[in-house]
Amino acid sequence: MLMIHSQRPVALVTGSTRGIGKACALALARAGFHVAINGRDNEEGRARQQAMVAELEQFGIEALALPGDVSDLILQQGMLDTVLQRWGRLDCLVNNAGTAAKQRGDLLEVTPDNYQYCQDVNTRAMFFFCQKAARAMLSQGELNNQHRSIINITSCSAHSLSISRGEYCVSKAAASMVTQLFALRLAEEGIGVYEIRPGIIETDMTSGVKPKYDQLIGGGLVPMKRWGQPTDIAVVVDALANGNLPFTVGQIIDVDGGLNKSHF
């Protein structure tokens, strides 16, 4: 069957019904991408995704909801197949879906199950989504001179230590290596692979620790002395997806207000 390619570029953003993922999906829609979004496959999750589709399509693009758990590798392939059947191309994958540690506590008490949980969602899922997306992008080639990219959202915890959630830090450090490996493999193919490390970002997921971090940020933990916003991440995703850093390979971009800068 002859594949009909959309004239617009196409992006798939995982974990995109709230927070950072939602901001990224909106930024790409504003930039003219058709956007496939992803969230939980339950009643609330599907409702969020349908509302998000309507919001995205206000920008004059097409949007598609792909509910499901990204750590399900068979489902990953189904998501990509649906995107390709709908639009005939994939130009940008944003690996945003992730999970926190199930519980904070002593590093000496981390269980194998809790360790594996972080690995499955934060590392294994990212690795194989990168692999599947890369194969799709290589098969289609570059269309309409559109830059092709894979953008992995990790965390400042890929570098900074937090012994109360060590399994999370390990999974994000491993995700950082996933980015470097695919960046090197795909450089000669003209596919940019990048890593964004958010710092302390104000979302519903951080609302429970807001008083604590308000005090820490005000005390200088973040040199810019403010919370990061999801849009701070989204503007970087927009730039990367549109090829505005064309001669970079595996670039790690800290979007953290200076959190990871050594200072006295």
Catalytic residue annotation? 168
Q: Which helix (H) or strand (E) holds 51?
A: helix 43-57
CA distance 94 to 11: 8
Q: How far is CA 119 from its chain centroid?
A: 16
Q: Backbone phi, then psi, for 91, in 5-degree steps?
A: -110, -25
- Torsion (CA) 242, 131, 8, 11 in degrees, nearest 10: -70
CA distance 221 to 62: 41
Q: How many helices (H) and strands (E) are present in the chain, helices listed first?
A: 8, 7
Instruction: Name the residue among 31, 39, 161, 175 with its Cα closest to residue 92.
Output: 31
Say whether 77 sits in a helix, a strand or coil. helix
CA distance 236 to 8: 20
Encoded amino acid at 82, one letter: T
Residues 80 and 136: beta-carbon distance below 8 Å: yes
